[in-house]
Amino acid sequence: MEQRLAPQALIDDTEKLIKLVLELKKQRNAVILVHNYQRPEMFRIADYIGDSLGLSVAAAKTDADVILFCGVKFMAETAKVLSPGKTVLLPTLDAGCSLADMATVGKLRQVKAQYPDAAVVSYVNTTADVKALSDICCTSANAVEVVNSLPHNQVIFLPDRNLGKYVQQHTDKEIILWDGYCFVHDKLDAETLMEFKQRYPDAKVIAHPECRDELLKLSDHICGTGGMAKFAKSDGSKNFIVVTECGMTDKLRQDVPEKNFLSFCNVCPYMKSTTLPLVVRSLMHNTHEITLPEEIIKGARKAIGRMLQISKNAA
Ligand code: 13P
Ligand code: SF4
């Protein structure tokens, strides 16, 4: 296969920008947290790279003065909730998440009134004010465990309907689904996956639980982004079809270079909106500092803290 090489000027610029970020990071006593879906060059400036759960744990633990988030806004908000005394930076406000925007406080109040005995489990892909109204948060890595830990028989699960359906298959509790979805995962289709499987019959399929059920049924392993490298390393297969956002294959190729990863994927424009020049600007001018009202921090902290406690108990 023909390899497309980046022009030398672009490579030089990237190297200069990385050097500058690393200098600024030291000057500001900053820590840079990077999600698995980010552009590959962002991995080179990271103090920690991981999934939503790992990033939350890292944000809670750091003793840096500044936390810079290369991810999306709800992740940076979670960092602010866990470390309210620190400066939390998000290099661009384009780094939103349309799934998180599908759950609003007004709608949640209505659903809660309809199901007064149900617990509210919010996926971390929600805004901080929705978390503050929730009993507990979860990520794709611990959603089943979180739901099964609750004494309630009914659970309002929001906002991802595909993850909610997946959880329903692993619990006896009644899951009240929210009609939200991640457009990146929801549009991945079973027909294309079938074609891939026919072309590469020995490849194992790893899928994110934000994908539709018919696709998950065709998969060998279902997990959040944090579990993908672990599975690829421990499984005996050489080839894997990765069913999630494209950036994950960059990360897998880096972490497990001895295996092959086929990209069955779409790009998340929110995740890809963070770039090295924006990180430089952010560290120089504090763009954009995340702030949250005190009562939202207090409420969201309870919900996130409960989730972290469960994951710690399981560790
Ligand atoms: P993970 O928690 O698996 O990293 O997923 C985050 C996300 O945004 C998936 O679309
Ligand atoms: Fe949100 Fe989907 Fe992008 Fe994840 S991949 S940040 S859920 S839009």
CATH code for the domain in which residue 146 is found: 3.40.50.10800
Helices (H), 135-285: 143-149, 161-168, 183-186, 190-199, 213-216, 225-234, 247-255, 276-285
Which amino acid residue places its CA nearest to atom 2 of ligand 1? 52
Cα 315 from chain centroid (whole Å):
20
Same domain, 81 and 113: no
Domain that holds residue 130: 99-181
| Residue 184 CB partners (closer than 8 Å, separation 6+) | 210, 245, 266, 267, 268
Same domain, 194 and 218: yes
Q: Is 184 a pocket residue for ligand 2 (Cβ < 6 Å)? A: yes
Indicate the residue among 181, 200, 220 that finishes a domain: 181
Same domain, 206 and 139: no
- The answer to whether residue 301 sits within a structural domain is no
Does the pLDDT of residue 269 top 60, yes or no? yes
Task: Decide: 172 and 223 in contact? Cβ < 8 Å.
Answer: no
Indicate the residue among 181, 216, 243 that finishes a domain: 181
- The answer to whether residue 278 sits within a structural domain is yes
Task: Decide: 243 and 212 in contact? Cβ < 8 Å.
Answer: no
Domains of the chain: total: 3
Task: Indicate the pTM of the whole model.
Answer: 0.94
- Tokens 């329903």 belong to residue: 168
How far apart CA 85 and CA 80 sit, in angstroms, is 8
The pLDDT of residue 264 is: 73
Percent of the chain beyond pLDDT 90? 91
Does the pLDDT of residue 1 top 50, yes or no? no
Same domain, 143 and 222: no
The pLDDT of residue 4 is: 58
Helices (H), 98-201: 105-114, 128-132, 143-149, 161-168, 183-186, 190-199
How far apart CA 64 and CA 70 sit, in angstroms, is 16
311 or 200, higher pLDDT = 200
Q: Is 99 a pocket residue for ligand 1 (Cβ < 6 Å)? A: no
pLDDT in tens, 59-73: 889 999 999 999 999
Does the pLDDT of residue 84 top 80, yes or no? yes
Same domain, 24 and 62: yes
The pLDDT of residue 3 is: 47
Best mutation site among 73, 94, 125 for ligand 2, i.e. most ligand atoms within 8 A of its Cβ? 125
- The answer to whether residue 124 sits within a structural domain is yes
